[in-house]
Amino acid sequence: MHDEKIALEQIQLNEKQGQILEAYLKLSERLGVEQITMQKVAKAAKVSLGIVHYHFNGKSGPSLMDAAIRYVDQESIRFINFELEKLNLSNKFSGVDDYIKILFLWIKSKTHHSKFYLYHYYHASVHRSHDELARFYITLMLKRLTSLLYLGIGRGFYPKLVKVEELARDLHAQITGALILTAYDPRKDSLTFYSSNTIRACHHLIKSHHADCDE
C-alpha cells in the first residue's frame, strides 16, 4: 500500500529537478537504462554531480528511477486527459478510437517518456519495489477504458455492450501490446501501421461484446 499512497500523490518538481529528470529520460532512450550513471546524468543536465545527488538518491529524496517512473506516469496521464478533454469539449470525441489515437500521438511526440514507461512494465515484473506502482497505473488505465466504453454507449457510439469490464481488459491488452511493438519497430510507417491495426482489432473486440451478438 505504500507505493499506492505514493502513486496517489503528484510528484512535485522544481525547475532543476525537472531538468535532471528530462536529461535522465533522454539518456535512457539513447543509451539504455542500465548504462546510466549519475555522472552521465549530471553532464547531460549540465549540473554538478553534487546537485544530482542533492535532489535524487539522497537519504530523504527518491531515487532517479523512482522519480522518473512517477514523473512519466503522471505526465502521460496529464497528456491523455488534456487531449481527451479537448476532444470532448469540441464534440469531436468518438470513443475508444480517439483514445487509441491519443496514445499513439504520445508515443510519437514524447518518445523518451513513452519508451521509459514501456520499460517500466518490464522493470516492475522483475523488481518487487515497483510492482505495486505499476499495478496502480494499470488499474487507472482499465478504469479509463471502462469509462470510455460507458460514455460511448451513452452517446450512441456503441450499442448496448455486455461484460464491459472484461472488454476493457481485452482492449488494454491489445493496445499495450501494440504500443510496445510501435516503440521498438524501426520502420518509418510503424506508428501508422500499428495505430490503424489496433483500431481495427479493437473494433472486432467491441463488436464481440454487443448485447445482440450471436457469439
Q: Say what the pLDDT of residue 126 is.
A: 58
What is the distance between the alpha carbons of residues 20 and 68, in angstroms, rounded to a whole number? 10
Report the candidate in 130, 119, 91, 128 with the shortest Cα–Cα distance to residue 3: 130
Rounded Cα gap, residues 73 and 153, in angstroms: 28
pLDDT tens, the chain, 215 aa long = 344 444 445 677 888 999 999 999 999 888 888 888 899 999 999 999 999 988 887 666 778 888 888 888 888 888 999 998 888 887 778 889 999 999 999 988 888 888 887 776 665 665 666 677 777 878 888 999 999 999 888 888 888 889 999 999 999 999 988 988 887 788 888 889 999 999 999 999 999 988 765 54
What the block records as the C-alpha cell of 172 is: 488494454
Only one residue has cell 491523455, namely 80
Which pLDDT score, from 0 to 100, does residue 31 have?
Answer: 85
Q: CA-CA distance, 176 to 65, in Å (whole number)?
A: 22
Domains within the chain, CATH numbers bracketed: 65-207 (1.10.357.10)
CA distance 206 to 158: 8
For the chain, what is the radius of gyration of the CA atoms? Answer: 19
- Cα separation values, 109 from 79, 113, 147, 199, 207, Å: 10, 9, 25, 19, 31
User: Quick check: helix, strand or coil at residue 109?
Assistant: helix
